Amino acid sequence: MTKPPLGIAIVTPSYNQAEFLEETILSVLGQNYPRLEYAVIDGGSTDGSREIIEKYADRLVHWVSEKDKGTYDAVNKGFAHTKGEIMAWINSDDKFPPWTFALVAELFTRFPQIEWMTSAYPMHWDKGGLATNISFVGGFNGKSFLLGANLPAGKFHVGSWIQQESTFWRRSLWEKAGGAVDIKSISGDFDLWAKFFQHAELYSVTAPLGGFRRHGEQISVKRLSEYVAHGEQRLKEYGGGRAGLPRRLIRFALHKAFGGRPLHRVPGFLTAPMAAMGLLFPVPLVSWDHPGGWKIVRNYVF
């Protein structure tokens, strides 16, 4: 007997984003995923967002338009109305490509050891919703994360954001990490990743899963310095902090020479010494191997 597909729970927090909101909603509902729970939590918008949400109310597990305590409060409120095993949130100006939920469900089913997953090829959209670029980021490692690799700022930085729009996790991990996003933090997504890394490796798949729309009004853009400061404080709380300048310089030089390409095919006698010196970090990469299908390989990031 065929098992039913995994349940997927998606939340969209929104406030005065009518210009983009419908496109976001359609990127979720347009997946036509059979076991989807979708909640839209609006903070009491006055720009017509409520009317847009009402158009799709019969396909939502929950929706509300009322004053809240910000994006992360809305995320928590939305997830409280869901039960799906796989979770993610998508902000009201971002969107998913059409294959995302089917692929995420397949990989979480095929590889039960995966507790959370993101894309090794994060996408970006322009203000009009057209794809603008996609680049290979290699993957993500917990030790590298604690050294600040995924909190971009300053000269000689090597690393990439963990793209929230492309990141999915099991409810069991969410509960182990406290079952909520910190509503008092401006860097709530980064805080959540720090918690997740205490419990599980982050797997990256060699396919796009989501995209960030660049229009310059997001908190992570307008209040970047504050976001980074909060993130640095979180790293210190977990015993980390930015790597020293000498190590950053060496990793920066290596990244310039070899970055942007898969390193799992590089001979071990080259990668092992650099990994031992803390210049390379191993990451689990879910890669497509024709004709064998999806498999997990050990890649490296700087």
146 contacts: CB under 8 Å, gap ≥ 6: 197, 235, 238, 239, 240, 241
Domains by residue range for the chain, with CATH: 1-96 (3.90.550.10), 111-302 (no CATH)
Q: What is the pLDDT of residues 260-298, one digit of tens each?
A: 666 666 767 777 777 777 778 899 999 998 888 999 999
Q: Where residue 151 falls among pLDDT bands split at 50, 70, 90?
A: confident
Q: At 115, phi and psi to the nearest 5?
A: -105, -30
Q: At 285, phi and psi to the nearest 5?
A: -120, 125
Q: What is the pLDDT of residues 194-225, one digit of tens each?
A: 999 999 999 999 999 999 998 766 665 667 88
Q: Where residue 155 falls among pLDDT bands split at 50, 70, 90?
A: low
Inform me whether the pLDDT recorded for 49 exceeds 80.
yes
Mean pLDDT computed over 220-232: 80
Element (H, E) at 256: helix 245-258
